[in-house]
Amino acid sequence: MTHHISAMMDSHPRTSETVDKEKLAECIAACSECAQICTACADACLGEDMVGDLVACIRTDLDCADICAVTGTILSRQTATNTDIVRAILEACRTACGLCARDCEQHAEMHEHCRICAEACRRCEAACAALLTTLA
């Protein structure tokens, strides 16, 4: 998926010269994947017999999915980028992914979907952190 994202970034007439394009593409891909995985995990939690015990996890999954989706969207916009907004959304996404991973890790031994979700969240958390280090 990063190939297409990188190709789009390369074709954009106003891509920022100060941002590491590889890390940007990786972060956009990680955000997109995490949004989908968190949504699927919340849905899988809703299908569990013990759904009442998973309410907080479901809420965190859905919050994380929304934050990841909007982060990927904002990162995809290259014209007149506001670095302060990008930093703020990356911090929010990194935080949401860390919290969601922590919640899902608590259920990972019992629910495979939570294990998968925690891994996707950790990848996205790392991608956000890596991109943050490249911002001027």
Strands (E), the chain: none
- Whether 48 maps to a domain, the answer reads yes
Q: How many CA atoms lie within 13 A of 125 on its CB side?
A: 15
Tell me, what CATH number does 48's domain have?
A: 1.20.1270.360
On whether the CB atoms of residues 135 and 83 are closer than 8 A, the answer is yes
Give this prediction's pTM. 0.90
- Whether 15 maps to a domain, the answer reads no
Q: Which domain holds residue 29?
A: 2-9+20-134
Nearest CA to 21 out of 110, 130, 95 is that of 130
Nearest CA to 94 out of 53, 52, 135, 58 is that of 135
- Whether 105 maps to a domain, the answer reads yes
pLDDT tens column, 33-86: 999 999 999 999 999 999 999 999 999 999 999 999 999 999 998 877 889 999
